[in-house]
Structure 1
Amino acid sequence: MPGATFPDEALSDDKFLCGKLRLLQPVKGYRAATDAVLLAAACPAVPGQTVLDLGCGAGAASFCLASRVPGLIQSGLELQPEYADLARRNAARNGIAFEVAEGDLTRMPPSLRRDFDHVIANPPWYPPGGTASPVRQRATAMQVRLPVGEWVAAGARRLAPGGWLTVIAGADSVPELLAALSPKLGSATILPLAAREGREALRVILRARKGGRAAFRLLPPLVIHAGEAHTGDREHYSPLAREILREGAALPAAFS
């Protein structure tokens, strides 16, 4: 639907990184949260490099990355026109240069058929029918339409030699993620994300390099919340998670 957009009354104005960013998001559609911030924190980009965000949505991951790393040349690919429009609006209101192309990652728009230093992605994780949302845009953003291996392959095609792919995905997708790396990607590292100490990791961050030859690394989990359970109506982030989610910090060197 060319020109499709969310009406203003259907949007909320949300703070990210303690108000450093203000993003419009649909009240009833897919809404970015901690995954987008963690994905941005895991991308090892430096000023002057190019970054492609596959399935950029309203732009949360790219804009969190831009807040930490000035001078990036950023682009996004988004399947849903309404979200592509939001990404453009959010880029303008936050003063961030961001090229957004509408299209499918299996048929990359011509404007994005070039090499990038980094590709980031937060693929949908629910199986078809796995979310009961009646909202079309939210269901499309959250339900798996393409296998996660297709996202890895698309990212590999767009990376320059030596470029980095960074993906946040469900822990159950790790076998498929690793199987999709060969032959173009190597030097893979996986960081499990655990809600609390001793809990099973439900999400992981994968980082891999085009042409990389280093040994695979499985890192200790990043624990998001402190303590065994929430106590009262307040934040319970671990110190490291708070630095990332509230201050926009990068993952420390130990996770690189």
Structure 2
Amino acid sequence: MVFQSYALYPHMDVSKNMGFSLLLKKAEKTTIDARVDGAAKRLGLDTFLQRLPRQLSGGQRQRVAMGRAIVRDPKVFLFDEPLSNLDAKLRVHMRAEIKALHQQLKTTSVYVTHDQIEAMTMADRIVVMHDGLIQQVGAPLDLYDRPANMFVAGFIGSPGMNFLPAIVCKGGTPEAVLTDGQALRLPEGLPLTDGDAITVGLRPEHIKLADEGALKGEVGVVEPLGLSTQFYVKLASQQLCVFAMGRAGVKPGDEVRLVVEPDQLHLFDPKSGDRIG
């Protein structure tokens, strides 16, 4: 197990911390040394073996904790939010290191995290839990493309999904009518009847600026990120988050039109939160 708080012995150097479990199992010294050296080289710790934990950075301490698990040659690794104590830049670096390590060792790893980016980038399969109950199990992109309910939809994706209450109108073309009277075209063939209350989910990256669009709103906050732009549009008494690549060319107070393809809408039952269709 690799703990969130590292759980290293402060009076032992890196070498002794990594080999202590083998010492308790009364393994031969040559075996302990060989496994510690092998794990240290794999983790880039071979020049730090004589240092105490207080002489290491947070990322190095976490690698020592991982090395302590590796030397035991386990059938399963258990990671308990191992990156939450690290700063943002180091988290990105360690995330890549742990994934590379997993690809080398091919050992089953159960990784607990509240960070959906960690889950999406590192997992082969994600188990999303809420209040102790499993909500959905699947590959990262399966959960992104077809979330089972609003909880999963809101958890997977960064920035998070927008949710808008609406009423189904099945005149000629089925539409979702929002609280301000604006409407979004719905996909054909869904199990909906006229007048049904639904919740429409819109991923920020699927909302596009257009000269003519189904939705009209006023830009509030604009967050330029360099590679992309994130901004918020007041729509149906809510703030709709929109994510655009590049320089979107919008500023607070602008009136914009937005378009979303029907097949990129996510529809949910507002009472149960379950996916429709």
- Asked if these proteins are the same fold (TM beyond 0.5), I'd say no
Higher-RCO chain (CA-CA 8 Å, sequence separation at least 6): 1
TM-score scaled to structure 2, two decimals?
Answer: 0.26
TM-score scaled to structure 1, two decimals?
Answer: 0.27
